[in-house]
Amino acid sequence: MTAPVELEVGRIVGAPVARKEDQKLLQGQAQWVDNMRQPGMVFLGVVRSPYAHARIKNVNVDPALAHAGVVAAWSGADIADEWQGSLPCAWIPTEDTNAPEHKPVAVDKVRYVGDAVAVIAATSRGAAEDAAELVEVEYEPLPVVVDPEAALAEGAPLVHDEFGTNECYTWKLDAGEVDRLFAEAAVMVTERYRQNRLIPNAIEPRAVFVTSIPATGEFTLWSTTQVPHIARVTLSGVTGIPETKLRVIAPDVGGGFGSKLNVYAEEALALAVARRLGRAVKWTETRSEGYLSTIHGRDQIQEIELAATADGKITAVRVKLTVGMGAYLQLVTPGIPLLGAWLYAGCYGVEGYSFECTGVFTNTVPTDAYRGAGRPEATFAIERAVDALARKLGKDPVEVRRLNFIREFPATIASGLTIDSGDYDACLDLALEKSGYDDVRAEQLSRRAAGDPKRLGIGLSTYVEMCGLAPSAILGAIRYAAGGWEAATIRCLPAGTVQVLSGATPHGQGHETAWSQIVADRLGYEVDEVEVLHGDTAVVPLGMDTYGSRSLAVGGIALYYAAERIVEKAKKIAAHVMEVDEAKVDHVRGVFHGPEASLTLKEIAFAAWTAHNLPAGLEPGLEATYVYDPPNFSWPSGAHVAIVEVDTETGAVELLRYIAVDDVGTVVNPIIVEGQIHGGLAQGVAQALYEEGIYDDDGNLLTSNMVTYLVPSAADLPRWELHRTETPSPTNPLGVKGVGETGAIASPAAVMNAVVDALAEDGITDIDMPATPERVWRALEEVRS
Amino acid sequence: MRNVSLTVNDVLYELELEPRELLVYVLRERLGLTGTVVGCDTSSCGACTVLLDGESVKSCNVLGVQADGAAIMTIEGLAENGSLHPLQESFHEHHALQCGYCTSGMVLAAVSLLAENPSPTGDEIRHALEGNICRCTGYQNIVDAIEAVAR
């Protein structure tokens, strides 16, 4: 742990400043959505389908209406005229993508367990819950399909009859002479992996609170959202409430990890009920309800082939994904696997690249963004396959990696994008040194020689990922419906403090602290003199919100350039006040030096506010906005090492050590960076060892609550050993890359490579995630028999 | 309805409660102590942890009427005379919170742990926190924050 240090001007970016956000959170003073209340408000209760696939024959809400405290109750049909459009999907990847209508409350058919069929408005939470149980719904059950491959088979039950298929889309990316390279390959590896379905589990459940002024038609929606700006424009489309009449506020939000990067039925429903009743409306999911109504992640079947020379130089990669979309398309459901589309060759230079992804409807909760979104999957496939290649060649995985690393930057990779910078050898060198790789290998051998039933395994993951979403033109080219820019405003107030309006919308990341550091560093304010406002469309009108490790690499750069604009204007005022030529004024972190005198930015801000003596034609006030559209993604990389012990008698896997070397470019605040990596590692290790959302053949979610879905506790995870290398990104002036997802991207591969490495001598080459004791034991039994 | 008297953060409340009201909702919705939060419905996550007669309990797993006569401390009552509790300070110094949603429960679970075992090892801390889930921090800084106070 790095202790906070006293700040010096010029050393603020990079300093371990303790977070400004903490005080209210530590004292129970956060403004969570579920804290909101208003006299006369109603609570929503949502009636959800117990069937994964069924026709709705009849919905009778009368018994619910008779219950004390119930104000109103509606079936999907009763409330259908509230909807001007479907719940949004902003990423339709191909022209012929099958995109179903998605109403907030189902009308004719339910398509997954949890699909909403009716809604109750009642004067208390308890009355809403009780009344929801009184609604009588008559269902005609239909055949169910939950597995994406089974859903593509001839005769599979159709989730959406109108398409005549469960295929949502197929998207391809081909580069180089892949077939020739495979035909000429001396060695080939063909692997098949399963990306387990994951449930994000942000610790704050989702909640919505709506107030309105019926006479003016104005609505304010407080939501546990990562994306208030995207929510406003899309919910306007769903409800028909004009954007001018809809204000969306994300107050304190308790984690997201992608699950709150969405626009949900209950947000639209709360607006519609508020419009119908003219009363404030609140809905808060229970955790178990969230498992059935908040998006899941992953659920991919991955087939990957490598073509290589006899000594292990990879020449081509061919990938085919079959991905469960779930029953509907949420905000970015179809695009999630495509965020990995360019990364299946990892940090290795190849000539040929072929990627194909088929999205498939199933009778399950929709999948969407979960920490890493497409990139953990890609990293897992290539890193596992490289280990498989090393085993096939009888070489150490380190050697095969070194043989294939990209070493010249910027590097245009076979899939077509350009990696900004990196030094993959430096990361690997440090990871090997810090893990004592050679010693662990030696111990592994001696354990084997001694016949120790506890095998040692060591797993590598040398990853590169693309984040900082994203250049708007590239997003347009891949048919994403919005831009990738971000906005920041700096407003120098007259009495010596400064407001920052951030379009990026934090939910635990520490933007207030990091943004304050950047402003302090550029403009000479103290960190505590900077006030960062965010997450309210009325206060911060411009924004694209927070996801994809984009906030610093895009929003932070917008802030940097806004500061440049402040300096530009302040310099004019300084020159005017000092009566010197502007060219003779130098700016150094908030102080403007003329030949004979100096003015501070605070003095200039006051002068700009009084406007008593400004240069002719210059507007009063000192405020600047910058909207930054990045020229490239940013490309963090690193080398992670997992060391595991696998008990061949019980199947238990213990993660003994985890060493992470990450290169995330310039670091603004090392404690925040470390915290982000810790959290990402915990979620990635959880994917490898603990977590899986499991459906039975009838479409019942068997892991339907926090007891049956194993989110790891402190006792289940090791101490993280973190190290860093630093190659600044050359595509932005701060050199930053992004850190929110690296841990979750790199770690599943490292852990599973270690588990397989431990058992390779036993003849095991793959174990599905999560590698539970039962799964490991069964795999061992299979090879033993 | 039942008459219940609760002392919460040294304030005595006389309440009329429905038998089914959970303590966490009594705290949040009747007393306005929204620092205690709900994270699950299976008493798995510990976000709602409070101290009941000095022991940590999950307030989603206690009925308001069960707490009749008890003294309860929530996160709002932990700081004394405007000074944060050493664990609150330590969580801040060690970056032991990110989104902060689990923090109230985590800090109070730690208060309870240190009352029972003033010098726990890192492993003992990890096991003592098994009932408190954090999704942001990967736990390491939480363990460090508690260890720093324990020493």
So what's the pLDDT on residue A7? 41
DSSP class of residue B95 equals T
Q: Residues A626-672: pLDDT tens digits?
A: 999 999 999 999 999 999 999 999 999 999 999 999 999 999 999 99
Q: 3-class DSSP state for residue A549? A: coil
**DSSP per-residue letters across A131-193:** HHHH-EEEEEE-----SHHHHHSTTPPPSSGGGSSSEEEEEEEEES-HHHHHHH-SEEEEEEE
So what's the pLDDT on residue A579? 97
Q: Residues A709-751: pLDDT tens digits?
A: 999 999 999 999 999 999 999 999 999 999 999 999 999 999 9
Q: Residues A406-455: pLDDT tens digits?
A: 999 999 999 999 999 999 999 999 999 999 999 999 999 999 999 999 99
So what's the pLDDT on residue B148? 98
Q: Residues A53-63: pLDDT tens digits?
A: 999 999 999 99
pLDDT at A232 over 60: yes
- In 3-state terms, chain B is what percent helix, strand and coil (to 5)? 40, 20, 40
Chain B, 6 to 45: residues with Cβ < 8 Å from chain A are 18, 20, 25, 28-29, 33-42, 44-45
Residues of B in contact with A125 (CB under 8 A): 25
Residues in Cβ contact with B113 at an 8 Å cutoff, skipping those fewer than 6 apart: B56, B120, B125, B128, B129, B146
Q: Residues A671-705: pLDDT tens digits?
A: 999 999 999 999 999 999 999 999 999 999 999 99
Residue ranges in chain B assigned as alpha helix (H):
23-25, 86-93, 103-116, 122-128, 140-150
When pLDDT is averaged across residues A142-162 and rounded to a whole number, the result is: 98
Q: How high is the mean pLDDT of chain A?
A: 97
pLDDT at A5 over 80: no
Q: Which residue in B26, B43, B76, B98 has the most chain A C-beta atoms within 10 A of its own C-beta, making it the best mutation to test that interface?
A: B98
Rounded to whole angstroms, the Cα distance separating A613 from A577 reads 7
So what's the pLDDT on residue A384? 98
So what's the pLDDT on residue A8? 44
Q: Where does the pLDDT of residue B82 fall: very low under 50, low under 70, confident under 90, or very high at 90 and above?
A: confident
pLDDT at A2 over 60: no
So what's the pLDDT on residue A6? 39
Rounded to whole angstroms, the Cα distance separating B148 from A557 reads 36
Q: Answer whether B5 touches A (CB < 8 Å).
A: no
So what's the pLDDT on residue A469? 93
When pLDDT is averaged across residues A336-350 and rounded to a whole number, the result is: 98
pLDDT at A464 over 80: yes
B131:A671 CB<8 A: no
Token output for A732: 């932005």
Q: Residues A536-579: pLDDT tens digits?
A: 999 999 999 999 999 999 999 999 999 999 999 999 999 999 99
Nearest to A765 by CA among A781, A780, A746, A777: A780
Assess contact for A119 and A82: CB atoms under 8 A: no
When pLDDT is averaged across residues A617-630 and rounded to a whole number, the result is: 98
Residues of B in contact with A710 (CB under 8 A): none
A679: phi > 0 → left, psi -120 to 50 → alpha, else beta; which?
alpha
Residues listed for chain B? 151
pLDDT at A213 over 80: yes
So what's the pLDDT on residue A617? 96
Token output for A230: 């995207």
B10: phi > 0 → left, psi -120 to 50 → alpha, else beta; which?
left
Chain B, 63 to 102: residues with Cβ < 8 Å from chain A are 74-76, 78-79, 84, 88, 91-95, 97-102
Q: Where does the pLDDT of residue A4 fall: very low under 50, low under 70, confident under 90, or very high at 90 and above?
A: very low
Residues of B in contact with A705 (CB under 8 A): 40-42, 44
When pLDDT is averaged across residues A244-254 and rounded to a whole number, the result is: 98
Rounded to whole angstroms, the Cα distance separating A44 from A276 reads 13
Q: Answer whether B132 touches A (CB < 8 Å).
A: yes
Residue ranges in B57-102 assigned as alpha helix (H):
86-93
Assess contact for A509 and A546: CB atoms under 8 A: yes
Q: Where does the pLDDT of residue B151 fall: very low under 50, low under 70, confident under 90, or very high at 90 and above?
A: confident
So what's the pLDDT on residue A785? 87
So what's the pLDDT on residue A561? 98
So what's the pLDDT on residue A9? 43
Q: Residues A478-503: pLDDT tens digits?
A: 999 999 999 999 999 999 999 999 99
Cis link prior to A63 (omega < 30° from 0)? no
Q: Where does the pLDDT of residue A11 fall: very low under 50, low under 70, confident under 90, or very high at 90 and above?
A: low
> A4-18, A254-268, A359-373: which has the minimum mean pLDDT?
A4-18
So what's the pLDDT on residue A730? 96
Rounded to whole angstroms, the Cα distance separating A713 from B83 reads 30
A22:B92 CB<8 A: yes
